Chains A and B, each alone.
Chain A
Amino acid sequence: MSHPHLQSRRLFLKLTATTSGLLFSGLAFTAENSAIVNRQNDEENAAQFPLLILHADNSITVINTRAEMGQGVSTSLTQLLFEDLDADWQQLKTVEQGWADDTRFGHQNTIGAISSLIAWNFHRQVGAKINLLLREAACKVWKLSLSEVKTNQGVVTNLKTGQYLTYGQLSKLVQTDLPKDKLALKQPASFSVIGQSKPRVDLLEKVNGTAMFGLDVNLPQLKVAVVARCPVFGGKVQSFDATEAAKIKGVQQIFAVPSGVAVVADNYWQAISARKLLQITWQEGDFATVSSNEVLAEFKQLLDAPGKVVKEQGDIALLDEKKERILTRDFEFPLVAHMTMEPMNCTVWLKAGSCEIWAPTQNSQDAQSSAAKVLSLAKEKVRVNMTYMGGGFGRRAQDDFIVEACYIAKKFAHPIKLVWSREDDIQHDFYRPLNAQRISVRLDNNKIYAWQHKVATYSTSPYHFSLRDRGTPSGDWVAYGGADSSLYQIENFQTQVHLQESPLTVGILRGISHGYTHFAIESVIDELAEQVAADAIDFRLAQITETRAIKVLQRLQTRLANVVLQDNESLGVAFGHEKAPSGPYQYYNAVAAIIERTAERYRVKRLIVSLDHGQVINPDGLLAQVQGSAVFAVSMMFGQAITLKNGRIEQSNFHDSPVARIAQSVEVDLLTSDSTEWPMGVGEKLQGTIQPAIANALYRATGQRITSLPVDFSSLGA
Chain B
Amino acid sequence: MTKLNINGNDIHTELSADTPLLWLLRDELKLTATKFGCGLGQCGACTVHVNGQAVRSCITPIASLSGQTIETMEHVNTELMTALKRQWQVHNVPQCGYCQVGQLMTASSLLNQNQQPSIHEIEQAMSGNICRCGTYGRIKTAILQTAEQLATEIK
Q: Is A527 an interface residue (CB 8 A)?
A: no
**0/1 string, B121-133, CB within 8 A of A gives 1:** 0110011011111
Q: Is B73 an interface residue (CB 8 A)?
A: yes
Q: Which of A387-395, A483-491, A698-706 contacts B (4 or more CB under 8 A)?
A: A387-395
Q: Is the CB of A14 within 8 A of B9?
A: yes
Q: Is the CB of B127 within 8 A of A389?
A: no
Q: Which of A1-29 contact B (CB under 8 A)?
A: 1, 6, 9-10, 12-14, 16-22, 24-25, 27-28
Q: Is the CB of A18 within 8 A of B100?
A: no
10 closest pairs, A vs B, by CB? A209-B33, A631-B134, A390-B98, A70-B96, A206-B97, A70-B95, A665-B136, A628-B134, A267-B27, A21-B13
Q: Which of B79-120 contact A (CB under 8 A)?
A: 82, 85, 88-89, 92-101, 104
Min distance, Cβ B103 to any Cβ of chain A, angstroms: 9
Interface centre among B6, B42, B75, B133 (most CB of A within 10 A): B133
Q: Is the CB of A211 within 8 A of B97?
A: yes
Q: Which of A92-100, A212-220, A593-601, A608-616 contacts B (4 or more CB under 8 A)?
A: A212-220
Q: Is A88 an interface residue (CB 8 A)?
A: no
B38 CB contacts on chain A under 8 angstroms:
422, 653-654
Q: Is B51 an interface residue (CB 8 A)?
A: no
The residue from A12, A213, A624, A653 contacting B95, defined by CB atoms under 8 A apart: A624
B12 CB contacts on chain A under 8 angstroms:
17-20
Please list the residues of chain B having a beta carbon within 8 angstroms of any beta carbon in chain A: 1, 6-7, 9-16, 18-20, 23-24, 26-40, 42-43, 45, 72-75, 77, 82, 85, 88-89, 92-101, 104, 122-123, 126-127, 129-140
Chain A interface, number of residues (Cβ within 8 angstroms): 87
The residue from B26, B45, B85, B122 contacting A208, defined by CB atoms under 8 A apart: B85
**0/1 string, A63-96, CB within 8 A of B gives 1:** 0000001111000000000000000000000000
B15 CB contacts on chain A under 8 angstroms:
21-22, 267, 269
Q: Which of A176-228 contact B (CB under 8 A)?
A: 197, 199-200, 202-213, 215-216, 218, 224
Q: Is the CB of B20 within 8 A of A9?
A: no
Given A391-B132, A627-B135, residue A9 in contact with residue B24 (CB < 8 A):
no
Q: Which of A49-57, A110-118, A656-664 contacts B (4 or more CB under 8 A)?
A: A656-664
B10 CB contacts on chain A under 8 angstroms:
17-18
A143 CB contacts on chain B under 8 angstroms:
none
Contacts A19-B12, A70-B96 given; 11 further ones with Cβ under 8 A? Answer: A6-B74, A14-B9, A21-B14, A71-B95, A215-B36, A339-B132, A342-B36, A628-B95, A628-B135, A663-B123, A667-B137
Which residue of chain A lies nearest to B33 when distances are taken between CB atoms in the complex? A209
A342 CB contacts on chain B under 8 angstroms:
35-37, 96, 98
Which residue of chain B lies nearest to A26 when distances are taken between CB atoms in the complex? B30
The residue from A1, A628, A653 contacting B133, defined by CB atoms under 8 A apart: A628
Min distance, Cβ B118 to any Cβ of chain A, angstroms: 13
Q: Is the CB of A632 within 8 A of B89?
A: no
Given A22-B14, A215-B35, A627-B138, residue A206 in contact with residue B100 (CB < 8 A):
yes
- How long is the Cα–Cα vector from A665 to B23 in the complex, in angstroms? 31
Please list the residues of chain A having a beta carbon within 8 angstroms of any beta carbon in chain B: 1, 6, 9-10, 12-14, 16-22, 24-25, 27-28, 32, 69-72, 197, 199-200, 202-213, 215-216, 218, 224, 249, 266-270, 273, 339-343, 388-393, 419, 421-423, 620-621, 624, 627-632, 635, 653-655, 659-668
- How long is the Cα–Cα vector from A213 to B35 in the complex, in angstroms? 10
The residue from B6, B23, B40, B75 contacting A654, defined by CB atoms under 8 A apart: B40
- How long is the Cα–Cα vector from A197 to B7 in the complex, in angstroms? 37
Min distance, Cβ B34 to any Cβ of chain A, angstroms: 7
Q: Is the CB of A22 within 8 A of B136?
A: no
Min distance, Cβ A20 to any Cβ of chain B, angstroms: 5
Given A72-B95, A208-B85, A654-B40, residue A25 in contact with residue B77 (CB < 8 A):
no
A249 CB contacts on chain B under 8 angstroms:
16
B75 CB contacts on chain A under 8 angstroms:
6, 10
A388 CB contacts on chain B under 8 angstroms:
96-98
The residue from B11, B23, B35, B37 contacting A268, defined by CB atoms under 8 A apart: B23
A422 CB contacts on chain B under 8 angstroms:
37-40, 43
A71 CB contacts on chain B under 8 angstroms:
95
Which residue of chain A lies nearest to B72 when distances are taken between CB atoms in the complex? A209
Q: Is the CB of B30 within 8 A of A659?
A: no
Min distance, Cβ A646 to any Cβ of chain B, angstroms: 23
Given A207-B85, A422-B37, A667-B137, residue A13 in contact with residue B6 (CB < 8 A):
yes
Given A627-B138, A631-B134, A659-B130, residue A69 in contact with residue B96 (CB < 8 A):
yes
Interface centre among B10, B30, B101 (most CB of A within 10 A): B30
Q: Is the CB of B89 within 8 A of A199?
A: yes
